[in-house]
Chains A and B, each alone.
Chain A
Amino acid sequence: MFNRWGLLWDLMRGNRMRYAGAVVATAFSALLSLIPTLVIRTTVDSIIGDKPMDVPGWVEDAVLRLGGRDALAHNLWVCGVALLAISLINGAAMYVRGKWTAQASESMARNLRDLLYDHLQNLPYDEHVKAETGDWVQRCTSDVETIRRFLAVQMVEIGRTGFLLVMALTIMFSLNVKMTFISMAVVPVILAFSYVFFSKVKEAFRLADEAEGKLTTVLQENLTGIRVVKAFGRQAYEVEKFDGKNREYRDLSYRLVRLMANYWALSDFLIMVQMVIVMVTGVYWASRGTMTLGTLLTFMSYEGMLLWPVRQMGRILTDMGRAQISLTRIKELLDKPREDMDEDGLTPDLNADIEFKNVYFEYEKGHPVLQDISFKVKKGQTVAILGPTGSGKSSLVHLLLRLYDYQRGSITIGGVELKKINKKWLRQNIGIVLQEPFLFSRTIKENVALGRSDVTEAEILEAMRVAALSDVIQQFEEGYDTLVGERGVTLSGGQKQRVAIARALVRNSSILIFDDSLSAVDTETDAAIRRALKERRKGITTFIISHRITTLAEADLILVLDQGRLIQSGTHEELIRQPGLYQRIWALQSRLEEELADEYKDLEYPAQERGVM
């Protein structure tokens, strides 16, 4: 409990005084808004009328200094100016309250958003693999909004109503005790009524929300599946289905409206009854002379100022529970431990030999993903990794960036143990292209430029050339400046992979990793990219995961993984002589040629056209 609100307190840092100031301004403004009525009361009773002045001493002094009641009666404009002056001061207080509350609560919301964004970004890789994106986004947006509203609107309303109530009651008691009790008679009833009503009506709100959700789902599914709808000629059926949900939503929201109508009408009635009671009793006492006209006017005007906000309180109080729930949900995200970046770790030159020694790795206890992996890579070599799905290929390269840490064995780069190296340093100097890379909703060029902050235009264009992006770009009217992602065009898997390759290339990394990142590119483009890459990556240690034999064959070292174990390793020449996965795949080449033997004879080009060099 304390922790939750403690978070809020922390986030208010730098704005606490402002918020406190806003509270003071709220109180001051509440007081000032009660005074014009008192000025009117005194003017009506004692200046225009002839009742004795029943005001604090300093006001009487001021009146005397202005020449006494008679002088004022001949210069009534002074009273008018007093009203205006009070309202101007009140206006200033309201302005300050509004500005400071907004500054404090908006800064808090900004801090919270920044904190969440930073925190989520820095969670361990594994958390993101398992992430429920929709739920997280929900927490970062609507829950933050609920808390912002709580601070910016609800707290202010509660504060204002509270101050108003206390001050008005003080004044009212000092004017007429009996009348005060009479004028507050309905307040508890209204409060209780609106609190109970809004607690009860939650269910109706929920039902209407759900109906709206269902309606949206039907619409969304229809639009995304419009091909199916049209192909089966199911338009009429769909219209009927939609109509059902549409009708349900209409009826449930109308039911809600009816409930609200009952509430507003009944609470309005209660408030107005209260006002009539005050007026009639007041008229009775005033005509008997036990109460002045001005006092009656004061009571009637205070009733108007108090009762409507009091009714709102019922609603706000029921809403307040939501702020607490939201805070808990946000806290849950923030309580997830951040990734330890090993910032004090070493920052060695990564352009060095790499050695794996008996490496063992598991995601879950007792389910090894990699076992007993040992191999050596000389700096600048190209390593190809082959293996069926689930054999641990991706995990192996993920270890190099310390996206995960191995449990046993050792990995060294230039003799330095990987676990001792600063993670950020590793990731800055190793380029990896994931199999399903993510592009940000920016232009194609900007996406490539994300690879390195100080990249030049020429470098971007060169990387795009190597990644064979130019023919992707030709398709779009705006070329390199075509917006991709959510708000722009959708690229195909292969196109995305190519952008991601260009993005990795501009990084000038010491180590490059391609995690099956050409899988969605057709073979001819694949060959073109590889040819261009080969020229470029001279001296860069490269890891390539692929199932294409032509890609694998060029490597200096080929690793064959199966079920987490390294079952074969060696060069192309070595492996084609050993029985095993690699040999069998290689044999396909000749089998293809046998199968197509007769057509093949008078053919000049097949090998290089397919990209086999």
Chain B
Amino acid sequence: MSTYQEQEYTQPFNMDLWKKLIRYAWPYRRDLLLLAAVMAASGGIDAVFPLMNRYAVDNFIVPGKLDGLWIFALINVMLISIQAFNVWMLICIAGRIETGLCYDIRKMGFKKLQELSFSYFDKTPVGWIMARMTSDIQRLGETVAWGLVDLMWGSAMMVATTGVMLYLNWRLALITLSVVPILAAVSIYFQRVILMAYRQVRRINSQITGAFNEGIMGAKTTKTLAREEENLREFKELTERMRHSSVRAVVVSSIYMPVVMALGSIGTGLVLWLGGEGVIGKSISYGTLVAFINYTMQFFEPIRELARIFAELQNSQASAERVFSMLETQPDVKDSPEVIEKYGDLFTPKKENWPPIKGDVTFHNVSFSYKEGEEVLKDFNLEVKAGETIALVGETGAGKSTIVNLLCRFYEPTEGEVRIDGVDYRKRSQLWLQSNIGYVLQTPHLFSGTVKENIRYGRLDASDEEVIEAAKLVNAHDFIMRLEKGYDTEVGEGGNRLSTGQKQLISFARAVLANPRIFVLDEATSSVDTETEQIIQNAIQKVLRGRTSFVIAHRLSTIRSADRILVIRNGRVVEQGTHFELLRRRGYYYRLYTNQFMEEKEREIMSQTRG
């Protein structure tokens, strides 16, 4: 995961951020109001219970009478029933807000991610996005729902308690409440320190998880380096840091609780002393004394809760910032309003307005750079007639995919135009272009689900027969039928229950089913066994036939059969022409080709020996 994630956010309260959050929470305004009301009621009732005790002491115990005890009991039962109902309501409503809000924001986030351009995914690690979409959104939902619960309950109880105490005996109330400001200050300080301490623990904990991961995955290498002792020593430093900071976090909390209790008992002590004198001097009733004792024993709770929420708000603010920054990212490649007007957007295409596609591709004076100032393509021109096959050749990392990325409009040229059938593709929608381009990657990516579902990804309304036909065309049918459940076999997460060769064939079938006019193939370098290799070669030839194709080629047969070859080196097209022309030129292509020729033949001979 990104180091970005570990950044500390300790900015003060950020009003704009909370305004934004309110916008997202707006659909839940009625629930939120109801929740606030329930919590206020609950806090209020909690403050009333000591009053009931006071009544019992002053009206039954002291005078020794029992009149109305049943009514008194009944009122008590009513109050606790209301309180239990409040608890039920509050959990249900807060739960509804929490789960609903998380759902909404996740949905918006996912939709946004589908719109974002490649440049975003190139810069942002998947782990970072995952963390935003899961834990940060979760925390945001929790804060809004449960933060409000604690906030309302704490405030209501504080206000009600203070009010009742002042009403019962304002002098005694003022004296005992004098510890509250100290209590509040101490709580706010400690809750912050405690939160920071636990955050530190979590950070080290994730480092430990990383260290275990690395230790286990790298164990073979460690063994060959005989580095076990050094590794263990480094790991021990980490676990010792973990122990140290965990103990520290607990110790801080262990100081906080006694301090709060001591402050609370100062309050109780004051009541016992001054209130007791009042009882002896008959200025205060026994009941009032009892009520005051109850209040002083419970009033640190709401203060503790409030202090905790304020500390946590800062943490949630960091989550909110990260989530909103993702939601507000603008895609680099965007359809203009006119285009959307005419052809529809990503989610509601107006297919009826889509022009048919022939498959001519033109790069006209195209320049491009990923980073400012580092041009990887300059004034590039290329004219491809519908049905032609273009091979892109060069070493790993030479920049072959740049041309493909531009063609698919994953990126747009910084200067010049890419034209499809003679029209700048920015005048058409992205979805129109991408629906007409088939794309097969060198590392095929499948989704969890069955084989059939994966092939059907190419054309969602294809019938079973069409799916099978596509599989047959690329010679995938035979191996699929040998799978346990044929087309209904689950491929596993990312397709990991299939071999690389099998995944490649399925991804070919998927592309064939889409029946695109333009086809992009990023050929695999990884070696599969010879038999599969033959089948794949065969499939490639079939797929390319009759379509405008761009192939990032590694295999000689694919290269040789291309109509034209672009040789790419250090991000630039250094040579172009047919295989024959390029060989004659005896330049860079000649070297690449002979190397590849040797590699392939060697492999061939090796595998013959094996059989």
Contacts and interface: CB of A to CB of B under 8 A. Distances in A.
Contacts of B224: 401, 403, 427, 432, 434
Interface in B458-509: 458, 460, 493-494
Contact of A300 (B53, B118, B286): B53
A48 B276 CA distance: 6
A585 B219 contact: no
A287 B222 contact: no
A461 interface: no
Given A287-B65, A606-B594, A99 B87 contact: no
A268 B83 contact: yes
Contacts of A82: 269
Chain A at the B interface: mostly helix, strand, loop or mixed? helix
A91 B258 CA distance: 4
A350 B206 CA distance: 42
A265 interface: yes
B406 interface: no
A221 B1 CA distance: 16
Interface string B221-265: 111111110111001100110110011001101110111011011
A243 B107 contact: yes
Interface in A271-293: 272-273, 275-276, 279-280, 283-284, 286-289, 293
Interface residues of B, number: 157
Contact of B99 (A80, A141, A257): A257
A273 B276 contact: no
Contact of A585 (B95, B274, B346, B605): B605
Interface in A147-202: 152
Given A217-B493, A427-B223, A121 B606 contact: no
A284 B65 CA distance: 9
A496 to B, nearest CB: 11
A503 B118 CA distance: 35
B212 A141 contact: yes
A266 interface: yes
Contact of B218 (A275, A301, A440): A440
Interface stretch (B71-79, B180-188, B414-422): B71-79
B130 A221 contact: no
Interface in B570-611: 583-584, 586, 590-591, 594-595, 597-599, 601-603, 605-607, 609-610
A225 B65 contact: no
A239 interface: yes
B396 A522 contact: yes
A7 B603 CA distance: 53
Contacts of A224: 126, 445, 494
A92 B258 CA distance: 7
B508 to A, nearest CB: 13
Given A94-B257, A95-B258, A231-B439, A141 B114 contact: no
Interface stretch (A102-110, A320-328, A413-421): A102-110
Interface string A431-444: 01010011011000
Contacts of A275: 80
Nearest to B219: A128
B272 A592 contact: no
Interface stretch (B28-36, B429-437, B543-551): B429-437
B602 A585 contact: yes
Contact of A246 (B107, B242, B286): B107
Interface string B382-413: 00000000000001110000000000101000
B64 A230 contact: no
Nearest to B432: A233
Contacts of B240: 110
Interface stretch (B55-63, B150-158, B359-367): B55-63
Given A232-B458, A588-B602, A122 B228 contact: yes
A95 B69 contact: no
Contacts of A47: 276
B380 interface: no
B92 interface: yes
A216 to B, nearest CB: 6
B290 to A, nearest CB: 6
B606 A265 contact: no
Interface string A235-254: 11111001100110111011
Contacts of B37: none
Interface string A47-69: 11000000000000000000000
A289 B107 CA distance: 66
Contacts of A220: 126, 130
Given A216-B134, A287-B66, A388-B610, A441 B84 contact: no
Interface residues of A, number: 163
Nearest to B103: A250
B439 A87 contact: no
A79 B272 contact: yes
A456 to B, nearest CB: 17
Contact of B601 (A269, A401, A588): A588
Contact of B61 (A226, A286, A563): A286
A118 interface: yes
A599 interface: yes
Given A250-B100, A403-B223, A434-B224, A562 B3 contact: no
Given A48-B276, A257-B92, A280-B73, A113 B208 contact: yes
A226 B431 CA distance: 14
B438 A231 contact: yes
A129 B259 contact: no
A427 B225 contact: yes
B217 interface: yes
A125 B270 CA distance: 70
Given A101-B250, A239-B110, A261-B91, A137 B213 contact: yes
Interface string B198-227: 000000000011111111111111111111
B111 interface: yes
A36 B272 CA distance: 11
Contacts of B148: none
A222 B116 CA distance: 13
Nearest to B606: A388
A554 B81 CA distance: 91
Q: Tell which of B129, B223, B236 has the most Cβ of chain A within 10 Å.
A: B223
A287 B113 CA distance: 71
The 4 A-B pairs with the shortest beta carbon distances in the complex, nearest first, are A91-B258, A80-B269, A257-B95, A98-B254
24 contacts: A44-B290, A76-B274, A84-B265, A84-B269, A95-B251, A99-B251, A101-B250, A117-B211, A121-B215, A136-B212, A223-B121, A246-B103, A261-B88, A266-B84, A276-B73, A279-B52, A280-B72, A287-B63, A293-B57, A293-B290, A428-B226, A486-B210, A486-B213, A581-B606
Given A250-B99, A438-B221, 10 more contacts: A80-B272, A101-B250, A102-B254, A121-B232, A232-B510, A234-B457, A242-B107, A251-B99, A389-B606, A592-B594
